[in-house]
Structure 1
Amino acid sequence: MKYTAGPGDATELPQKFTFNPKEGIDNPALVISDDAGPDLCPRLCLLKREEGEGFGFYLREDQGCRGHVVQQVTPWSAAQRSGLRDGDRILEVNEHFVDNQEHSEVVQKVRASGLHVCLLVLGAEEYECAVSDGTNLMALVRAHRGDGYARPRLYHINREPGFGFGFSIIPIEGDRGRYYLNPAIEGPAERAGVQAGDHLLWINGVMVSTLSHSALSKMIKRCGEYVTILVIDSTSEESYIRRKLPIVPAFACTHNLLHRPKTLHLVQGLQGYGFLLRQEKLTSGRIAHVLREVDPCSPAEAAGMEDGDLLLAVNGEQVEGLEHEDIVSRIRKSGQQVTFTTISIQGRDYFTQLGFSPLLFYEQNIPKREHFPELTLPRKDVHTNRSCPRLCVLHKEARGFGFILACNQNKPGPYIGQVTAGCAGERAGLWEGDVIVEVNGQNVEHEHFEEVMRLIKKAGTSLRLLVVKGTGYEARRNSGLPINPGLIPEGTQPPDSTTDYFV
């Protein structure tokens, strides 16, 4: 049957509707269901593009319009093929909830996704209805995933004398190419956050489903001093299988990854910025834009620039694939100030081995004056100042407190490695990456993993954590400012009960 999509005559008229009680309804345009389902139904769009192509849509934030808005979906593009539509509002990018994030960060996540990006969206009308009705969009997303879901985890683990990497790999019987991990007690893997029974999916850029157990064991022995692994718990893995989603590093929360990119804010002096930008061919064969000849006492040196660093982004826009002249033009158009995102050559090689962009998990800190071409006005409804401490009160449930504790190996400074969706930690307002300052009133900034774990276990069924978002913690510590409950903004301190800070 053929129908027109707009005004005009149909090229072929619909067949007459008939009903046969033995065979059921034979009109394909009519669907009867006992359950109409929820009014709000997020759509999953998997976009796959070719090298050198874009995804084929603009992402905007319009004045007076909440949300990250999809516009101008290009015909026959990756966006259109995935089912993305003009007016859609993006709720998640690569399984990361973004409706409450700055628009520039969402643009960055999409751009850093490489050749594939996974978007969870709501249609324009559905989104507007949800906002006007006060719907908790994060709860809506949780319902879409299912109970007990948590994102996969990406760990960097150092080899230690007497422990090795601190885990053993065990094949899942009757399921070829699938393995689970058994971490050694207080070993480097357990301290990083690996849990007993976690399924191993990926190691140093290679999916383990393609490897036999003997080949996997040989790979581990050849890994040298460190290894990077992707794991997931079995319940969360079932959620991905149900939604027919591949489990890839882009979906992960990260722990202890080496060679994080740096953000440099430069203000032009009388003699300029004080560095040279050169296009060079590295020993790896990669063509890169390299920062050279950093002048002593220059704005570049004051911002933390180091000779030999590679330039990844200018004012938040990736530039690795651009011509040298285009980058110079962007810097000049920036005026008296510019923001660079950089990484060392060793860091770029590290991420090249892993097979994804250094910017994929990078939380940028770009001043508001800078903008993206697709960006109009900045958001005004960001819920929480990231540099402010928060007091989170958790009450223990059957599955515990609902978070995984992590730390940098052999260093004090515990942080939240993962928050389980729908559990006590999330409802109390914990975020992945939060640095723990106090446990039940006791400062733990300089305590090691084992002592913090002891205090949490000692807490019994009620736990009070003073936390700060990771980027805000670093900013306060660098400025010498103390962190204590007295700095919590008025009206945000919770009562002695679980609290949802996301609404």
Structure 2
Amino acid sequence: MKQTGGLEDTKDLILKFTFNPKDGIDNPALSLAEDTDRDSEGQPRFYLLSRSPSEIFGFYLHTELGHTGHVIRQLEPGGLAQLQGLQDGDRLLQVNGEDVDSMEHLRVVQKIKASGTQVSVTVLDGNTYEVAKALGRDVGAMLPGIARPLLCYITKDKSSFGFSVSAPEGVRGTFRLSVVHDGPADRAGVPDGCWLLELNGASVKNCSYTQLSRKLKQSGSQVTLLVLDAADEELCRHRGLRVTAAMADASRLPFRVRKLHMVKGPKGYGFLLQEEPSCTMGIGQFLREVDVGLPAERAGMREGDRLLAVNGKGVEELDHQQIVLLIRASGPQVTLLVIDAQGNAFFNAIGLSPLLFYEDQDTASGTHASSPGLPHTPCRHHAGGPQDIIDEPESCTTQAVLGAVGDAVTPVRGRKVEQQVAESSPQVMLPEGEQGRCHSSWDPNLVAAAECTHAGEAAAGTMTLLGSGQASPWEGPKEMSQSL
């Protein structure tokens, strides 16, 4: 790979802002990014929230009777969101550059949750939002176009990926790609002249040209690029916006989250749910022993699929017992979100959740079916890091506790569960390490059949086959499986 002077003028890469006493500070980033001045009222505001794994974002996301949109509430005093400039009553318009104003509330929460420790949000103050809605205006029209990077997976053709890299002499982290027409990179969606942001899930901002060349050679026959079109890069610079992989357009990836809807047959669904290590992403739940001709196989389940969600609820952070009981609570039918083994390996490698890029076509087309027997009610979700989904007894609505330290649940199998669980209505399966496991869910059909398995029964090493009333041996905590 040859280093070229493909950039016309490296000086143009350095943002310069001049101060004119008559005009003020000419820096668009100060007016759009992390702006809390009163002058910003009536205009969309952009924030990049970054937290450590032990921190929370520090706000609740509500839907409220008498108010439209996704409402920011209960900002933690001195918390990350408040310090960045989010205000009580703000309406959330975008998550990672994607419009969410008309999106289903739980889907919005999933997007924040799947973003991990960093999320980009666009908000509008509540008064402006309500006035715009009352006048029948489209709040989306108030938003300038948001540049989205592209996530591209390239398989080498013969001896080339189909692109070359140029970089200014002696400058780190500035790489421009020249794409060969109809080559592997072109077919993967890489635009000619784009800027390289990440290689195989790692930022290149501190890489020299030589280091990047070495990393490309070490990639083997496949490589994953996060790139930004030249025009979009200029847009981001002028707005002071930081681009992240969570904002990416992943439509050209060959890996897709699949939606499986199954109706239980006389022999059950016909698959085994097994807990296994999942590379860098920790423990995962995998689908094994898919029986030919039974509901799971007919719905499109494949051996080795990883389970991501049950009936629209993300389960990546739930343990095996909780997930089994979620499926049991679903009754005679269930909808699963899964990804195949290759897709799971890909997202593991780049450190992102597949759910971040999943779009429910039924929801998008307005055909989403809500759970039977549950009226539409206000919701509030605690925005932090990934954890469980717990209902609030006072409103009978769903609250997602997303990774807040000291929040309602610490779901670690075989360990003590936080006492706060007792204050919540029974919504997820919470295994009590010393006194037993309480099997319960939000499905009203399960309440009558709720059962508690005491420590003595757990010590005997048995697990119940769902829908059969039988028991099967359980080898221990290192590998858990459940026939469904």
Per the normalisation by structure 1, the TM-score is 0.61
Q: Partner amino acid for 1:113? A: S
Supply the AA of the counterpart residue of 2:143.
V
Say which of 276, 281, 299 aligns to 1:280.
Answer: 276
Alignment check: 8 A CA contact 2:153 2:224 kept: yes
Q: What secondary structure sits across from 2:172 in the alignment?
A: coil
Q: Who is 1:316 aligned against?
A: 312
1:354 aligns with 2:355: no
Question: Secondary structure at 1:154's aligned position in 2?
Answer: strand
Alignment deviations for residues 148-190 of structure 1 (CA, whole Å, 9 cap, x no partner): x63222212221136x111100003564320111111232223
Equivalent position to 1:106, from 100, 105, 108: 108
Equivalent residue for 2:154, pick from 153, 157, 160: 157
One-letter amino acid of the structure 1 residue matched with residue 275 of structure 2: Q
Shift of 1:114: 0.8
What do the CA deviations read for 1:358-389 (whole angstroms, capped 9, x no partner)? Answer: 11111135642249x998379xxxxxxxxxxx
1:216 aligned to which of 212, 215, 218? 212
Q: How far apart, CA to CA, are the structure 1 residues paired with 2:376 and 2:154?
A: 38
Distance apart, 1:41 and its partner CA: 1.4
**How do 1:149-228 and structure 2 match up within 5 A?**
150-161=147-158, 164-173=160-169, 175-228=171-224
2:303 maps to which of 307, 313, 324: 307
Name the aligned partner's letter for residue 230 of structure 2: S
Which letter does structure 2 place at the counterpart of 1:45?
Y
Q: Look up the equivalent residue of 1:90 and give its one-letter code.
A: L
Alpha-carbon distance between aligned partners in 2 of 1:82 and 1:47, rounded to the nearest angstrom: 8
Determine what percentage of the aligned residue pairs are the same residue. 44
Q: Bigger shift: 121-130 or 268-277?
A: 268-277
Does the aligned pair in 2 maintain the 1:264–1:304 contact within 8 Å? yes
Q: How does 1:87-486 map to 2 (within 5 A)?
A: 87-142=89-144, 150-161=147-158, 164-173=160-169, 175-282=171-278, 286-365=282-361, 367-370=368-371, 376=377
Distance in 2, Cα, partners of 1:41 & 1:272: 54
Q: Specify whether residues 139 and 192 from structure 1 end up closer, same or farther in structure 2 by C-alpha distance, changes over 3 A only.
A: same
Q: More deviation in 272-281 or 346-355?
A: 272-281
8 A contact 1:263–1:342 mirrored in 2: yes
Q: Is the 8 A contact 1:105 1:364 kept in 2?
A: no
User: Which stretches in structure 1 are left out of the alignment for 5+ residues?
Assistant: 1-35, 379-503
Q: How many pairs does the alignment contain?
A: 337
> Greater RCO between the two (CA within 8 Å, min separation 6)?
2
Alpha-carbon distance, 1:346 to partner? 3.1
Residues 1:370 and 1:178: Cα distance change in structure 2 (over 3 Å): farther
Q: Aligned-pair distance for 1:218?
A: 1.9
Kindly tell me: are residues 283 and 124 of structure 1, through their superposed partners in 2, closer, same or farther at Cα, counting changes over 3 Å? closer
2:187 and 2:272 map into 1 onto residues whose CA distance is 42
Deviations 1:114-173 (A, max 9, x none): 11111111121111012223333223111xx6xxx63222212221136x1111000035
Q: Which residue of 2 aligns with 1:47?
A: 49
Q: Which SS does the other structure have where 2:210 is aligned?
A: helix
Q: Which residue is 2:72 aligned to?
A: 70
How far apart are the structure 2 equivalents of 1:377 and 1:304? Answer: 35
Write the deviation string for residues 397-449 of structure 1: whole angstroms up to 9, x where unpaired.
xxxxxxxxxxxxxxxxxxxxxxxxxxxxxxxxxxxxxxxxxxxxxxxxxxxxx
Query: What is the RMSD computed on CA atoms of the aligned residues?
Result: 3.0
For residue 468 of structure 1, what is the aligned residue in structure 2?
A: none
Per-residue displacement from partner, 1:327-367 (whole Å, max 9, x unpaired)? 12222222333221112333222112112111111113564
Change (3 A) 1:218 1:283: closer
TM-score under structure 2 length normalisation? 0.63
Instruction: Determine helix, strand or coil for the equivalent of 2:112.
Output: helix
- Residue 225 of structure 2 aligns to which amino acid in structure 1? I
Cα deviation code 1:10-39 (max 9, x no counterpart): xxxxxxxxxxxxxxxxxxxxxxxxxx9676
Task: Work out the CA distance in 1 between the residues paired with 2:252 and 2:44.
Answer: 32
The answer on whether the counterparts of 2:95 and 2:121 sit within 8 Å (CA) in structure 1 is yes
Q: Structure 1 residue 64: deviation in Å?
A: 5.1
How far is 1:205 from its partner? 1.0
SS at match of 1:346: helix
Are 1:59 and 1:374, in contact at CA under 8 Å, matched by a contact in 2?
A: no
* CA distance in 2 between partners of 1:55 and 1:235 (Å): 31
Q: For 1:363, give the aligned amino acid.
A: E
Q: Which amino acid aligns with 1:267?
A: V
What is the alpha-carbon distance in structure 2 between the residues aligned to residue 126 and residue 113 of structure 1?
27
Distance 1:258 1:196, change over 3 A: closer
Q: In the TM superposition, what whole-angstrom CA distance separates every residue of 1:34-67 from its partner, at most 9, and x where no partner exists?
A: xx96762122233233326553433333345332
In structure 2, the residue corresponding to 1:240 is in which secondary structure?
A: helix
Distance in 1 (CA, whole Å) between partners of 2:339 and 2:172 is 39
SS in 1 for 2:127: helix
Cα separation, partners in 2 of 1:375 and 1:160, compared to 1, 3 Å: farther
Q: Give the conservation status (yes or no) of the 8 Å contact 2:162–2:183.
A: yes
Output the CA distance in 1 between the equivalents of 2:223 and 2:132.
Answer: 44
Please list, as runs of the form range in 1=range in 2, the aligned pairs for 1:479-498 lying within 5 A after superposition: none
C-alpha distance in 1, partners of 2:246/2:203?
14
Query: Contact (CA 8 Å) 2:71, 2:90: kept in 1 or not?
Result: yes
- Does the C-alpha gap of structure 1 residues 362 and 79 become closer, same or farther in structure 2, counting only changes over 3 Å? same
Give the whole-Å Cα distance in 2 for the aligned partners of 1:186 and 1:258. Answer: 17
Q: Secondary structure at the match of 2:355?
A: coil
Quick one: distance in 1 between partners of 2:263 and 2:151? 36
Aligned pair in 2 of structure 1 residues 375, 354: CA closer, same or farther (>3 Å)? farther
Distance 1:40 1:284 in 2: 43
The 3 A distance-change label for structure 1 pair 52 and 197 is: same
User: Cα gap change, 1:375/1:192 in structure 2, threshold over 3 Å: closer, same or farther?
Assistant: farther
Deviation at 1:284, TM superposition (A): 6.5
Is the partner of 1:194 in helix, strand or coil?
coil
